Amino acid sequence: MKLWRDRLLLLCALISINALSVSGQDSDVEAVRPNGVSGPVRKAQPVDSISDSTDEVSRPAASPVRKASVAKSTSGRSRKTRAKAKRTPASTPASIEYTSDGIPKTGAASVIVVDANTGQTLYEKNADQTRAPASTQKLLTALIIAERGFLDRPVTVQQIDTMAEPVKLNIKPGDTYQRIDLLRALLVKSPNDVARCLARDNAGSVEAFAEVMNRRARELGAVNSHFVNPNGLPMPGQYSTARDLSIIARTAYANSTIRSIVCLPQLVFRYANGRTRELENTNKVLKRLPYCNGMKTGYTEAAGHCLISSGSRGGRDIIVVVLGDSKAGVWRDSSALLSWGLWM
């Protein structure tokens, strides 16, 4: 009788735990709300669970039934299970620290958070420090191409366009593409040869296009920047600031063509010979946070890891610029600041 009574109690406990689990899943949780911000939030993966080491989403926790079966196992097996869980990086995500005002702390060299609609600065750290912008400056390249229009016009690749290591799409001299197809590839996968091809097609040469970039930057009010090439590869005299890049990003965000591209998680690119290749967006925040809708990554040894990210929620649009961050920190910091800006 005692054995049957114990089994019955265990069964009741399992049913109760399962009911609580289902109830919790149906409720409106606050998993991604930044510290210091009240109110209900939509369900999403916590911002501090983004890891740079993999493109896959962290595995969910084991179900209550599985926990019960582990509890029934031998003590030796339980110790092995716990030790294995400790060694799994996904089980110990890096946590976000906040200031007394509820603003996420970041390890980036330069940061700015702005309202994309009004231009109001919500938070900044060393926003006027001149730094190498890496591929984030391709947003300006794309903006100029998009503003020029005639995106259905053909572009024929020249030999000089292909001289752009290390990240290339490997377009070949003599191949012909529509501008819009190259523009999409530029913003999703960030190939340097595509940037050179579009720049040369627009202005006649990379050098002439750099003059166009500097002129457009000054028109926008990004006066503390100077560009030498269209792709962000290190060059003497090429620099920008987080504030200037946020100004450029705001204009790019308002451009419907660019907005329709930077939100794409992947893209199928068709080469001139008919071969296709799926291009995956380099922006990991876009893939992890449902309210992120762009914009552009960047990395060189001189610049560190950089990201311009954008997001929208309830009529509020935020742009975050993070420059000079670590490999893992750039995703964590950008995610935390974007969430904070949208919920503040």
Closest CA relative to residue 156, chosen from 134, 169, 175, 142: 175
Q: How far is CA 114 from CA 40, 135, 225, 341, in A?
A: 23, 20, 18, 8
The C-alpha torsion from 264 through 268 and 269 to 275, rounded to 10°, is: 170
Closest CA relative to residue 293, chosen from 320, 270, 312: 312
Residue 280 CA, chain-centre distance (Å), reads: 12
**Angle at the Cα of 103 (from 286 to 187), degrees rounded to 5?**
25
51, 110, 189, 190: the active-site residue:
190
Cβ within 8 Å of residue 178, ≥6 positions away: 151, 152, 153, 154, 155
Beta bridge partners of 294: 310
Instruction: Let me know: does 112 contact 321? Beta carbons within 8 Å.
Output: yes
Between CA 24 and CA 40 the distance in angstroms is: 14
Closest CA relative to residue 249, chosen from 336, 146, 131, 143: 143
> Other CB atoms closer than 10 Å to residue 313's CB: what's the count?
18
Closest CA relative to residue 172, chosen from 261, 268, 275: 275
Instruction: Let me know: does 335 contact 47? Beta carbons within 8 Å.
Output: yes
Catalytic, 135? Answer: yes
51, 110, 138, 309: the active-site residue:
138
Closest CA relative to residue 230, chosen from 259, 254, 201, 258: 201
51, 110, 135, 240: the active-site residue:
135
Between CA 203 and CA 197 the distance in angstroms is: 10
Closest CA relative to residue 224, chosen from 241, 199, 242, 203: 241
Q: Which residues are the active-site residues?
A: 135, 138, 190
